[in-house]
Amino acid sequence: MEKTLVIIKPGAIQRELVGEIITRFERKGLHLCGIKMYQFTDKVVSEHYAHLADRPFFKRIKDSMMITPVIVCCWEGLDAVRIVRSMSGGTNGREAAPGTIRGDFSMSVQENIVHASDTVENAKVEINRFFKPEEIFEFKPNNFPFVYANDEV
Ligand code: IDP
Ligand code: MG
């Protein structure tokens, strides 16, 4: 089943929104298969945001990701990448739709609470960036038959 990576950013750690964010994904029916606290280094954050290396705010977003540890978590489910992106909302918290994480908790483009993988391919790369294989746990939760119909899984 599809997996995706979420990073609960330092702004959310400072504002003590960790439980709120995890609860949203749990309630949706996504399955948590890896989670840990993690301190970014300049090397890893540069790699993670390499697609923004030529932008004027690159150093600023890197610094903001290193202010405190983050929580990295891996969520599993059918279409998990697309669902977690849509639950996270648009990049700019001021424009993100109400009901999304960014729409409900962010007033900023930079300080937008969470990172979520944008494609299945990138999700695989990002999960490998933060987790060793043995830190991702493969098991079927008991609620499975109530989350999905037989013909969906
Ligand atoms: P995404 O997180 O919605 O996928 P990306 O374009 O991949 O957005 O940018 C990664 C992160 O860089 C954003 O989540 C945000 O924290 C920051 N960022 C993106 N664009 C800007 C900007 O124009 N100003 C400041 N920070 C930005
Ligand atoms: Mg992105």
Question: Residue 130: which CATH number?
Answer: 3.30.70.141
pLDDT in tens, 64-73: 999 999 999 9
pLDDT in tens, 37-61: 999 999 999 999 999 999 999 999 9
Range of the domain at 64: 2-137
Ligand 2 centroid vs 53 CA: distance in angstroms? 13
Instruction: Give ligand 1 pocket residues (Cβ under 6 A).
Output: 52, 57, 61, 91, 109-110, 112, 115, 118
Residue 87 counted as domain residue: yes
Q: What separation in angstroms does the CA of 51 have from each of 16, 46, 47, 55?
A: 29, 9, 8, 9
> Which one-letter amino acid corresponds to residue 84?
V
Residue 121 counted as domain residue: yes
Ligand 1 centroid vs 112 CA: distance in angstroms? 8
Which one of 31, 48, 51, 115 is the catalytic residue?
Answer: 115
- Confirm whether 115 is a catalytic residue: yes
Residue 153 counted as domain residue: no
3-state helix/strand/coil string of 96-131: CCECEHHHHHCCCCCCCCEEECCCHHHHHHHHHHHC
Residue 144 counted as domain residue: no
Give the pLDDT score at 32.
98
Q: What is the mean pLDDT of residues 114-138?
A: 98
Per-residue tokens: 100:
């999304």
Residue 149 counted as domain residue: no
- How many domains, in total, are found in the chain? 1
Residue 147 counted as domain residue: no
Residue 152 counted as domain residue: no
Report the alpha-carbon distance of residue 116 to residue 9 in Å, rounded: 11
Residue 43 counted as domain residue: yes
- Mean confidence (pLDDT) of the chain: 98
